[in-house]
Structure formats: C-alpha cells, structure tokens
Structure 1
Amino acid sequence: MVEEYAGSKGKFPPVKRRAKNSLYITTIEKGHSLVNSLIETHRLDNIGLVVVDELHMLGDGSRGAVLEMTLAKVKYVCKGTQIIGMSATLGNVGDLQKFLSAENYTNDFRPVQLKEYVKLRDSIYEVNPKEEDGLTFSRLLSFKYSSAMQKVDPDHIIALVAEVIPQKSCLIFCATKKNCENVAGMICKYLNKDFLKHREPEKAALLAELKDSGSGCLCPVLQKTVPYGLAYHHSGLTSDERKLVEEAYSSGVLCLLTCTSTLAAGINLPACRVILRSPYVGADFLKRSQYKQMVGRAGRAGLDSVGESILILQDKDKDKVKNLVSAPMETCYSNLLHDGNRGLLSLILSLIGLNVTQTVEQVLGFMSGTLLSVQEVQVCQQKTLKELIQESTEILKQKGLIEASSYVPDNAILQITRLGRATFKGSIHLSYCDVLYKDLSKGLEGLLLNSFMHLVYLVTPYDMVSLCKPDWMIYFREFTKLSAAEQKIAAALGVPESFVARKAAGQSVRKCVDAVVVTRLYLALVLYSLLRETTLWNISDRFQLTRGFVQALLSSASAFCSCVLHFTEELEEFWAFKALLTELTRRLTYCVQAELIPLMEVAGVMEFRAKQLYNAGYKTLAHLANADPNVLVNSMENLYKKQANQIVSSAKMLLQEKAETLQQEVDDLLMLPNDLPSV
C-alpha cells in the first residue's frame, strides 16, 4: 500500500494492514506526526526503513528542527530501523554521520555532464575551478539586437533562450514572482511567430484545462505566453495550475518555464539549459547550496549528452560570484534552538507526552543522540546542553504544559498536563497554545452558529498573519456585508465597525486594537467568502491577493482546523467543538458543496470536473469506478482519453483501498483472544 501523508491526507495512527506492507510518502511535518502516533501505539518497530530526501533540510529553520526531532525519535525508540539520508548539497557530512551513526557513500557520477557558465555583458565564461579566478573565457554572444530590444532585454535573455527552444527545454530562475511573469511576457514579444505552430493543438488543450481548473477563469499572462510554449511557475499559481504547467513542460508541450528558486527543490523538471536571471533570491545573495540546486536541473537523462547552466551577472557582483561558483557547501547546523529554542521546547514536551522520557536526566540521554549534541560547542552559545534542557523544562512548567512530581531537579518525574497533552496532540505551536485556549474559551461564551464566520475565525492560522497586510477599503467593504450578528461577533473579538471605517477613511485611531486579531479577522473574511461557494479566482480578485496565496491560506486553515480539533478532543470543556470542527475541516479541505467531496478525492478531479461528473450522473466513487472511459470522454467537454483512464483508475484504487480498510477493521473486531498480540 502506498499512502500519502500531506496536506489533509493521512490517518493517525495509520491503518493496520496485516496482509500488506505500507509505504508512507510524507511531508516533514506529517512524517513527524506519523512517527509520534506510531510511538504512542507501540508500533514504531513496524517501520523498517526511513528515507530522507534533501537531508540538508536539517539546516532549514523550523522545518529542519522538525526533521531532526523525527530522526532522533526513530533512532532512540527503534534502534533496528535503517535510515538513509540523501543530498547533493551537504557540506559537513561528518557531523551528520555522527548524528545518524551512519556510513557515508559519495559519488560524483551524473548521468548527463553539467557545464557551468557565467555571462558578463556580451561574454560567456566557463566555470573552471583550476583557474586562478575560477573562470575561463568561452565565447561572445552573437545575436543582433535592435535599440528597442536592448532597452527591454539588456541581459540578452532572449538571445540565450533562442539558442535552445523550442526543440530543447529551458528554465529561467528569477529573483521574484513578479519578475517571472514579466520575463515570460517579455520573451514572447520578440519570439518568431513560427513558435505558435509548434505543438499547437496540445497548447490549445492546455489553455482549456487551465481555464477549467480556474472555473472558467484564465490568467492573462498564461493566455499570452502558453501559445508560444512558455509559462511561469511560482507560488502565485494554484496547485492545479502548477500541476498542469509541470505536466505540459515534462511532455514538451511547453519548452520554457520562468520560475522562482522553489522549483529547484523537490520538483523533477530538468532542462537542457538553465539560466539564472541574477545571483539573488529576493534581496539576498545566493547561497552555494541554492546555486547548486538550481544548476543541478540542467541536463535531461536520455535526451541530452550535456546540460548547461548560465548565471547572468553584473560587474558589481563579479567578485561575489567567483566565490559562489567555487566555494564549499555551507555547514548544516541544528535548528532546535531556532526562534527562541522553540524546537527544543516542542521536543521535550512531546518526549514527556509520549512517555519516552520522564526526568531531566532521561531527556539529556535522549538529547545526546541529536545533531544539536554533535554541534553543542558551535550552536549552544556558551551554555551546556544540560543547562538548556533545565531552562526549557522550567519554561514548559511556567506555561502550564508539564508539571514535576517533586522538586529534586534531575530526578523529579515530569508529567504532561491536560493543556500540554492537548498542545502536543494537536501539534499546536507553543507560542500559540495559551492564546488558542483563551480564544476557544471566549468563543464558547457566545459562539455564533447561524453562520460559519465565528468558527472560521477560531481556526484561522496565527502564522499566516505576518504574511498579509489588510487593504482597509476592502476590509470595510467586506465588513459591511456581514450580518448584524456577525458584526457583533467581530466587535466582541475587538474589531468594531467604527475602527475599520476610520482606517478605511485614512483617519488615525486612538483606541488600542490588537493588530494580530485585526489581521486574523481579515483572513477569516477571505476564508468565509470562499466557503460561501465563491470561486478562488473571484476571492483573489475581490481581496487583491494572489490566487496561490488564497489557496495556501485555505490549505493552512484546513490543516490548522484539524489541529484545533485534536486540541479540543483532549480538553473536556471543549466537547462542543468536536462535531463542529469535524464538519468545518471537511468543508475547508475541499471547499465545495458537500455532495462533490467524494469525487474530489479522485486524482485529476478538480472542482470544475467534479461538477461535470456529478451533473453527468457520476455521483459516487462507485459510479465513477464502474464508468467507461470512452463514455466519459464523449459526455464531457475538454476531457481526453488519457485523463478519463486516469480518473476511472484512481476511483477504482480508492474504492479498493476503502474496502480493504473496512475489511481490516472487521478482521480486527473478529480477532479471537488467542490471536491477540501479547503485551
């Protein structure tokens, strides 16, 4: 069984399968929750192998901390499990070997040779570590530019692109999302009209699919660029749009993508030529590991004998770039102390909650098997690991998340409190657990249930607040659309209409208002509008937010709603929230009418397609699993045989999985006492 643990997918603890082994494909966060649930149910020894792709993510902020916790727990609790970590951009392999008690296998083999170049003005230089300055002159760029083109494209991107497309593929990494769109649009203006004829029918089909995925809406930039075989790829696209663009690029329908650095990590989209628009990501100069991830996309196995990367630079960056192309990889440091030791605090709380450790001494014993312990001298900043653990334990006590049975410092038995267990079970960030408890308690005093508005506010993610700044005119407009009861709730939360009206009018406000609450309510209005059967495109336009951000907000709210549900299940005073949040999680996960939800589980089925299927009579998973792909093609617009086969195949697989899961539950219920495992 291959099971996905990402977004809202995945069951904790996972379903027991006696007849088959399981392969769990997980995100870092879901993988950690999966390991926790297996420890809690004494099933971690069922895991024989853990494979970590992109192991250098250990050095990546809070996500790195979660990855380190997961691996440390697997090592400590189940010593027989094999761990394999993979990365092409690791600097301090020795530290990671000590942390994982690992052997090191290194190979420089590449199926396609990579040639790295930099471009300075009209000259192309090959990266050559043997040379004194790391660069060797290769050639002059020959391409006739008009004065108008020179102004529009001073970096000669069109010249570099025209050398390879449309016969071969090209990726252009840009510093910002807006730059991606601008560069794609700029290239189209100067491409030969013959590009329009290259795979014309498939490009027309792609545009139709993109329009369907947007419920009839199509991005004007993509509408202009796709006929030329170009598209952009960044977080401003919806997941459906990204998937369609990636598939079209992989099949050669699109020959060029302008993209941000995120495409370099985890997405298998190689190119004959990779162009780095500048040595910056946003305002920050490229790190060596980022550079290697990007240029590593050059070269398609089985199609190219050589892959090329070209970094465009200005004179002012020449010295920095010389260091960049020849520097060693950055050191990967533990992030358990990132952001005020939050990783360490979270780890200690979960260790006590899972009964893995019960004293400070035992916690110290566990911590000796972490990357933080290996790097104690470099990372712990003049404190010993034991001192940090004692400080963290005191902080958890002060927050009311753990308590000690006695006052003997190292031998006191540490126990998790009700609030601590709820925080741990719900995977709630320690910064927000007490705020969430207060918000939910206050919510119970006057919970408005004639609309989803109040509940949606309670599950609006705290960590999205810093990513959005309210537009006060839009805020006031949307606020006035609320019912009198909903406006009363907003006022009770601390955001009265008078405050929003004054801000919209550009007037100063003397009254002290919590900025987090104000922004959180604004985001709640976005989510509430989505739940009222309004398309993501309409909401994006109404609130002047990218559709990618709106979708990310929805996905984050769905995940946080599930976390809050688990949080409330551990606290008896919040019993009323269980049924309410169970339904709200479903609504936020799919954000469609309830009858369409079963169809939305099928791979390749988006809201527009689900409505088509439902209206055509395919109202359940069983109906779809028994459908004839040829009939589907004939009865639905813009549906091709390959897609129809995929939809029917996915429906059959889902139906089989559900049947097997139910059969497993039946078998477990009918187990004879003699079959029960010994404790």
Structure 2
Amino acid sequence: MLGDGSRGALIEMTLAKVLYVSETTQIIGMSATLGNISDLQTFLRAENYTNDFRPVQLKEYVKLKDSIYEVKPKEQECFRFSRLLNFKYSSAMQKVDPDHIIALVTEVIPTHSCLVFCPTKKNCENVAAMICKYLKEEFLQQRAAEKAVLLGELRDAGNGAVCPVLRRTVPYGLAYHHSGLTSEERKLVEEAYSNGVLCLLTCTSTLAAGINLPARRVILRSPYVASDFLKRSQYKQMVGRAGRAGMDTVGESVLILQDKERHMAETLVCAPMENCFSNLLHDDGKGLLSLILSLVGLNIASSLLQIGEFMRGTLLSVQQGQLCVETSLQEAVRRCVDLLKDKGLITVAEDSHGQSLQVTKLGKATYKGSVDLSYSDVLYRDLSKGLDGLLLNSCLHLVYLVTPYDMISQCKPDWMTYFRQFTLLSAAEQKMSAAVGVPESFVARKAAGQTVKKSVNMEVVRRMYLALVLFTLLKETNLWSVADKFQLSRGFVQTLLSSSSAFCSCVFHFTEELEEFWPFKALLTELTRRLSYCVKAELVPLMEVAGVTESRAKQLYNAGYKTPTHLANADPAVLSRTIEHLYKKQANQIVASAKMLVNEKAAALQEEVDELLMIPSDLPSALKTQQLL
C-alpha cells in the first residue's frame, strides 16, 4: 500500500514521523507482493524475514477455449496442458456462458467454496444471476433455513428492501460482493460465506486485499480490472485467496483467457513482482507539501535544514536515484516551502540561524482539520462566502459546505432528476443554490436538453447535486429510496454520507482555528452528529451503542428499549427472544456496549460534580459552609 497513490503517501508520512520522533516504537510491515523489499528495509531501518511457506498448496491454471493449462513459471513453456474441461452445454447455454464459468464453478460448489473475480460491478451481478439459471434444484435445499435467515437480515439492513439480484441468488447459495452494496450488506454476505451458508461469491478486485475470505477455487473471469490489464501484484492477491487453511489440502486458481490475451498473460504469471515506490511526489508533490506543512505545524522542524534532516529518513530519500526526479530532494523541498508560502500557509523569516519557518493561522487550520491542500483555499473562500448569506431555515447550505470536494469527480448528474429535486426546494433554498452558482434556469435548460451558453462552474453544479442527495437523505433517512430517487448505487450513497460526516468534522476543526468562522462551530457540531447517524432524532441515543445499526435501533425502540440505559439494564436472553434475528452473542455484545457507554457518561458527569464541589482549603469556614449549602 506504500506504493498506492495518495494513500501510500499518507502511510509513508506517518511511518517517517514515528521513526523520527520515537526510538522505542516497533513497526512490523508485512507483504506477499513486494519486489523491492530492500528499499523498505532501509526506509524502516528494519530486519527482514522472508518465508515462502504456504499452509495450503496453491495450483495455478489458465483456461483457453475448452482446455485447462497448469501454470509453470519456471519452465520455458509456462502453460502446460492439464486437461479438457468436462461439460455438456446446449447451444443456448453456450451463447449465455461462452467462457464456461458454470462448468468451472459446478466442479467445486456446493461442497466447496468458490470466488469469481469479475472486471466490473455490473458484471458481478450478471454472472451471479446467470449461474443461478442453470443450477440444479438441490442447491435450494442446502442450508435453506439459514439462507432464509440471511435474506431476512438483508431485508432488515435495507429497511424492508432486498436487492432483486440477491433475492434471486441467495437461495442457491450465491451472492455478489462489491462497493455498490452497503457496509451492512457486505458484512452479512461475508459472514454467510465464511460460515458456509453461501458457497460462491462473484466479486471485484477490492475483495482480494484486506478481507480474509478464502476459497477452494478462485476464478478470474478476465485478466482485466475495468479496462486495465492486471498487474502482477493484483493477480497474486486474487489467486492468493485460494486454499482454506485447516479445511482444504489444496487451493486452485483459474484465469480465463481469450486467444489474443495469451502472450500478455504469460508475461503476467511469470513476471517478477512490481516494485513499490514512494508517492510523496505523486500528484505534483501533494504528499510532500502536506508533510512539510505538518512538520512545521507540529514543531518537528522549523528550518529548511531540519526539514532536510527529516527527509533523509523517508522512502523518497532512499529511492530518489531510482525515481529519476528532475531536481534534487533539497530543491524539491525548497520549492514546496515557496509554494506553501505563496498559499499563505507558512511564513519564512530570517534570523541568526538562517530562515525560520512558522505556520500561519490558515496553515494551522489546514493541518489540524486534515484538509487536503488542494482544497484548503477553496474551502476558505466557500466558508467566507457562506458567512455573507448563510441560509439557516434548512440545513441545505451547511450540507453543501461539507460535501466532500474529492467526490465531485465521481458524480454525473441525471439532469431530469436534478431538476425534479430542485423544484422541491423552498424559494429560500433555490435562492441559496443560485448564490453559490447553480441557478434554476441552468438546471431547467440542461434537463430540457438545451445548450447553455452562459459559463457555469460544473464542479459547483456537481457538488450541489451531491448536496441534494445528502439533504434528501437527512430528511427521509432511507438510503435505499434516496439511491433509487437519484439513480445511484446504495453503496455510493452510503460512502457519500460517511465521507461527508468525516469532512464535516474536518471543516469543524478547520473553523476552530479561524476566529472569523466562529458561527460555524455550534452549527457543524450538530450537523456532524446528524450525518454520522442519519436517523430520526429519537433513534440517535441508541445509535451511540456499538453494534446497533439503524434497522436494529428501530427494532429496539419499538420493543421499548429507547435509551442506552434501557439496554444496559436488559437481560441478553430476553433481548434475543424479543428482537427478531438477534442472536444471543449479538445481544450480549449490545448489552455490554451499552453498559460501557453508560458507565463512561456517568464517570464524565461525576468528574464535573467533583470539580463543582471542590472547595479551596484556604476559604474561611463561613464561606465553606455557604458554598456547601
């Protein structure tokens, strides 16, 4: 992950700071897909332990037409013929499944588990539905009661709605897994697969890293992720899911190929692992800019000399010769300092020791709020403009101000939907929309398919569209209906909600450091709470208990458990019997969490009481008596 764009830069910054300020902290890094371990070893000042032991043997295969070839990367012909695929397809079935996925999966399911990696989210759903059409009736009988419970839990997670594809596939023991699902749905699917209730998942490449869902057989539907050919590390992460330790003696992977892909696939399965490179200079050096700002703000460095000393402990320093950087690292640092100065985030002053760097109020607000440097000046302008005419008869204006900038690029408005939702706004809300740069006339013309000659900032237009999604969600608190209304996946809407909640907290900390934004402090505190839970007001106290989702909170509230105190005093056995689909283990966890929450709040209140009753010893006795009274 160190080599993964902005996320990699953030990990490198964190590790470099820990290494710089602490000699006792122990860091352990693990990877199965690293080509240049020595660079990481130097960066982390680490000892290296390497082992190729695998508890379950992995056999890799590729499929070309109806032939299966075993992968032999150390031989000259790296694909060695293994067998012909044994299948009997009708002509109609051959048209529906030309890659023989059904034949490959039915060799292992339902006795064993199987993962089918697909290049796109839509393909995951289509493949799962297609396989179901040709499975025998006996699949419906396997663990039927547990599948019925799973469908019930999915219905609860969806506030009474179940995805039509899952409703069709789950009875057969199949499901799909991708970012279009909500986190609750993904968790239920993962648990059901781990417990053997589901025997097959069709999934995207994101399941390969970070989630422990192994299988007897892993099938790669295509050597592509979207339109990009697989990287060696991606391929190894996917096929590495094959083999359940303690359950299987062998794991198999099958990569489905077309004739034209054979040569590239040979390179893919035989190539060495890709190297991991520093991303501090990724995206015009955004990571390096953030690092320098935080170093100055946290008083880790106050001069170019000290920053240079810190930089020698980064992965970028270790790899600067390999990265073919146009300028030296010292020059890159100097350029970043100048840019931070131009942005008004730091000041540079001359003293007896040379240049002294200090963070400005805006700079402090930026790093304390963890605001992306690309957006700090835009956020400042938006908040300043917002103060001039802040709409407070609804939360739309505030929601717009905390809609994440980094999700704008993922938004392609449906103009008819946009116009329909715009017309539902009050006159004041429409006026506010026009003030930020989205007038009704523009949306109406786009919905009518007309050309708009007037120049309009499309980023503002898309951001307002996302703000309308959030605004509607806060009013209706039904993620499924809002996703359907705006023609977005429910997973995307949930991601938008959680990102907005996080960004709202960032904006709150940003405004805390800038006196001119004092009105936002109280407003954003409540909005963060609303975005975090996005439920009716009466359910918010229950949502504070760990393990309680919206659907569960509704069940508990309707059953009379209306506060954390009610839950803390509940009998888990009674709770489990009262609430549908609540297992004894879950009931125990909810009651324990409620008790912990109540005890924490009681302790905090007791501290306040103790402080109020704390009487100075030097007070005259008459005053002591009066204070006690």
TM-score by length of structure 2 reads 0.95
User: Aligned residue for 2:521?
Assistant: 578
Is 1:568–1:575's contact at 8 Å kept on the other side of the alignment? Answer: yes
Matched, 1:343 2:275: no
Compute the displacement of 1:146 (Å).
0.7
Matched position secondary structure for 1:289: helix
Q: Corresponding residue for 1:592?
A: 535
User: Does the CA contact (< 8 Å) of 1:233 and 1:242 recur in 2?
Assistant: yes
| Aligned position for 1:504 | 447
2:481 is equivalent to residue 538 of structure 1: yes
- Contact 1:361 / 1:411 at 8 angstroms: preserved in 2? no
Which 5+ residue runs of structure 2 have no aligned equivalent? 615-629
Contact 1:133 1:322 in 2 (8 A): no
What is residue 515 of structure 1 aligned with on the other side? 458
- The residue that corresponds to 2:507 in the other structure is 564
Q: Percent identity?
A: 74
Deviation, 1:406, is 2.1
Partners of 1:535 and 1:663 in 2: CA distance = 38
Q: 1:465 aligns with which of 402, 408, 411?
A: 408
Aligned-partner residue type, residue 138 of structure 1: S
Q: For the residues of structure 1 that align with 2:55 and 2:194, how far apart are their CA atoms?
A: 18
Equivalent-residue separation in structure 1 for 2:235 and 2:463 (angstroms): 36
1:265 pairs with 198, 201, 209, which one?
A: 209
Aligned to 2:589: 646
RMSD: 2.0
CA distance, structure 1, for counterparts of residue 153 and residue 515 of structure 2: 48
> 2:168 is aligned with what amino acid?
K
Counterpart residue number, 1:424 = 367
- Residue segments in structure 1 that go unaligned for 5+ positions in a row: 1-56, 672-679
> What is the rounded CA distance, in whole Å, between the counterparts of 2:98 and 2:604 in structure 1?
60
* Structure 2 counterpart of 1:584, one-letter code: L
| Residue of structure 2 equivalent to 1:637 | 580
Partners of 2:114 and 2:604 in 1: CA distance: 45
* Structure 2: distance between partners of 1:237 and 1:668: 48
Equivalent positions of 1:31-50 (< 5 A) are none
Whole-Å Cα distance in 2 between the matches of residues 663 and 171 of structure 1? Answer: 53
**Aligned mates of 1:663, 1:158 — CA distance in 2:** 64
Q: Deviations over 1:329-383 (max 9, x none)?
A: 1010000000010000000000000000000111010000000000112225221
> Does residue 443 of the first structure (1) align with residue 443 of the second (2)?
no
Q: Where do residues 189-338 of structure 1 align in structure 2 (5 Å cutoff)? A: 189-338=133-282
Cross-structure match for 2:332: 388
CA–CA distance in structure 2, aligned partners of residues 476 and 321 of structure 1: 48
Letter in 2 for 1:347: L
Q: 1:504, CA displacement in angstroms?
A: 0.6
Structure 1 position 594, deviation (Å): 2.6
The correspondence of residues 602-613 of structure 1 with structure 2, limited to 5 A, is 602-613=545-556
Structure 1 stretch 521-530 or stretch 605-614: which is displaced more? Answer: 605-614
Mark the structure with the bigger radius of gyration.
2
Q: In structure 2, the residue corresponding to 1:406 is in which secondary structure? A: strand
Give the structure 1 partner of residue 625 of structure 2.
none
- The CA distance in 2 between the partners of 1:647 and 1:456, in whole Å, is 31
Distance change (3 Å), C-alpha of 1:552 and 1:119: same
Q: Which amino acid aligns with 1:573?
A: E
Shift of 1:82: 1.3
Superposition map of 1:354-369 within 5 A: 354-369=298-313
TM-score under structure 1 length normalisation: 0.88
Secondary structure of 2:255's counterpart equals strand
Higher mean displacement: 659-668 or 243-252: 659-668
Q: How far is the alpha carbon of 1:659 from its aligned partner? A: 5.7
Measure the CA separation in 1 of the matches of 2:112 and 2:561: 41
For 1:155, which of 76, 99, 103 is the aligned residue?
Answer: 99
Task: Please report how far the alpha carbon of residue 618 of structure 1 lies from its aligned counterpart in structure 2 after TM superposition.
Answer: 1.0
Q: CA deviation at 1:658?
A: 5.2
Are 2:89 and 1:142 equivalent residues in the alignment?
no
Q: Is the 8 A contact 2:244 2:251 kept in 1?
A: yes
Q: Separation in 1 of the partners of 2:513 and 2:243? A: 52
How far does residue 600 in structure 1 lie from its aligned partner after superposition? 1.7
Residue 154 of structure 1 aligns to a residue in which SS?
coil
1:10-41 Cα shifts (integer Å, max 9, x gaps): xxxxxxxxxxxxxxxxxxxxxxxxxxxxxxxx
Q: Distance in 1 between matches of 2:608 and 2:253?
A: 54
CA distance in 1, matches of 2:586, 2:226: 38
- Given the superposition, is the C-alpha separation of residues 654 and 270 from structure 1 closer, same or farther in structure 2, using an over 3 Å criterion? farther
* Aligned-partner residue type, residue 576 of structure 2: V
Q: Aligned pairs, how many?
A: 616
* Cα distance change, pair 603–125 in 1 and its aligned pair in 2 (3 A): farther
CA contact (8 A) 2:67 2:81 kept: yes
Rounded to whole Å, the distance in 1 between the matches of 2:609 and 2:301 is 35
Q: Deviations over 1:239-275 (max 9, x none)?
A: 0000100011111111100000000110011111111
Is 2:429 the counterpart of 1:482?
no
How much does 1:229 deviate? 0.3
Contact 2:125/2:202 (CA < 8 Å) preserved in 1?
yes
CA distance in 2, matches of 1:161, 1:325: 22
Aligned-residue offset at 1:394: 0.3
Partner residue in 2 for 1:24: none
Q: Which amino acid aligns with 1:107?
A: N
Letter in 2 for 1:172: V
